[in-house]
């Protein structure tokens, strides 16, 4: 219910109410939301207030507007539970989805200063650069650029890059992936990346940098990812 005497702004109460309906499933992805007028009449609040609540839900990716038709509930966000050190392939399979990759670039080139530093190798030592669009059920979720030292890891091919790198490291090379550090920050999609991820100028993304280490402490990969913020969220499990 909307409580007009509460110190919590009315638009925020409505926003939370709609969010709960989405999370609990009474509003499902693809459902048309009641119109601004209907919400305003049901809760005896102004249309401006309803508009503010809906705009916030749009910015947070819960709903989207379709010109001339109305506002619809978005697809559910994928949730990656941290600190499970999982691969994209594992994440998507666990959700019952089919992962796939489109290879944007596969090359061997001299490491930049940033990459050399992350992988703890000399500047301009050779690295694999693997840039992939990562899809779930054919829908693009992320653009991921992986750097691996050529000297340390032999044999990565375009064919392997089309599947799971972690599976290749673990099952074929018998390496023990141990831990990773990950940096997550929010940003806006840039003009080169927006086409690859089917996004529009100004859409929000999560930029993620992961350095993954083997059990002997050697850096295995340095990965820069751009995740669609409307489709992905991270949950951090914390223990004190």
Neighbouring-strand partners of residue 209:
183, 224
* Count of positions on this chain that bind ligand 16G (CB under 6 A): 14
- Say if residues 129 and 147 touch (Cβ distance below 8 Å): yes
**Cβ-based neighbours of 205, under 8 Å, separated by 6 or more:** 186, 187, 188, 189, 193, 197, 199, 226, 227, 228, 229
Q: Does 230 bind ligand 16G (CB under 6 A)?
A: no
By CB under 6 A, is residue 78 in contact with ligand 16G? no
Verify binding: residue 144, ligand 16G, rule CB under 6 A.
yes
Nearest to 44 by CA among 6, 79, 10, 17: 10
Q: Which of 156, 189, 197, 208 binds ligand 16G (CB under 6 A)?
A: 208
Residue 63: HSE in the Cβ half-sphere, 13 Å Cα cutoff = 28
Structure tokens at 218: 């050697």
94 DSSP 8-state letter:
H
Q: Give, as one character, the DSSP assignment of residue 77.
A: P
**11, 78, 128, 166: which one binds ligand 16G (CB under 6 A):** 166
**165 scored as a contact of ligand 16G (CB under 6 A):** yes
Piece of the chain touching ligand 16G by CB under 6 A; list 64-72, 147-155, 161-169, 185-193: 161-169
**Residue with smaller CB distance to ligand 16G, 194 or 224:** 224
Of positions 15, 36, 221, 230, contacts ligand 16G by CB under 6 A = 221
Is there binding between residue 130 and ligand 16G (CB under 6 A)? no
The answer to whether the beta carbons of residues 183 and 165 sit under 8 Å apart is: no
What are residue 37's phi and psi, to 5 degrees? -65, -45
Q: Map residues 83-102 to x or -, x wherever contact with ligand 16G holds by CB under 6 A.
A: ----xxx-------------
Rounded to a whole number of angstroms, the minimum distance from the CB of residue 169 to ligand 16G is 8
Asked if residue 146 binds ligand 16G (CB under 6 A), the reply is yes
Please state at what angle helix 10-24 crosses helix 47-59, rounded to 10 degrees: 50
Quickly tell me which residue has 């949950």 as its tokens: 235
36 binds ligand 16G (CB under 6 A): no
Q: Which residues bind ligand 16G (CB under 6 A)?
A: 87-89, 144, 146, 164-167, 208, 210, 221, 223, 225
């Amino acid at each position: 219910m909307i409580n007009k005497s509460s110190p919590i702004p009315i638009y925020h109460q409505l926003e939370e109410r709609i969010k709960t309906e989405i999370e609990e499933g009474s509003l499902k992805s693809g459902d048309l939301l009641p119109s601004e007028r209907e919400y305003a009449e049901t809760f005896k609040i102004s249309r401006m207030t309803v508009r503010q609540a809906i705009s916030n839900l749009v910015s947070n990716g819960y709903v989207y507007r379709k010109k001339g038709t109305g506002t619809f509930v978005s697809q559910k966000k994928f949730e990656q539970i941290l600190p499970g050190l999982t691969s994209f392939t594992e994440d998507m399979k666990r959700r019952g989805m089919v992962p796939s990759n489109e290879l944007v670039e596969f090359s061997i080139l001299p490491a930049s200063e940033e990459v050399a530093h992350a992988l703890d190798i000399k500047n301009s030592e050779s690295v694999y650069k693997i840039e992939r669009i990562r899809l779930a059920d054919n829908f693009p979720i992320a653009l991921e650029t992986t750097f691996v030292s050529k000297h340390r890891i032999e044999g990565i091919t375009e064919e392997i890059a089309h599947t799971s790198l972690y599976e290749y490291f673990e099952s074929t090379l018998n390496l023990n992936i141990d831990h990773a550090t990950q940096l997550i920050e929010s940003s806006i999609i840039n003009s080169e990346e927006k086409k690859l991820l089917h996004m529009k100028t100004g859409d929000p993304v999560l930029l993620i940098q992961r350095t993954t280490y083997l059990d002997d402490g050697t850096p295995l990969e340095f990965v820069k990812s751009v995740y669609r913020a409307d489709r992905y969220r991270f949950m951090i499990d914390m223990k004190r």
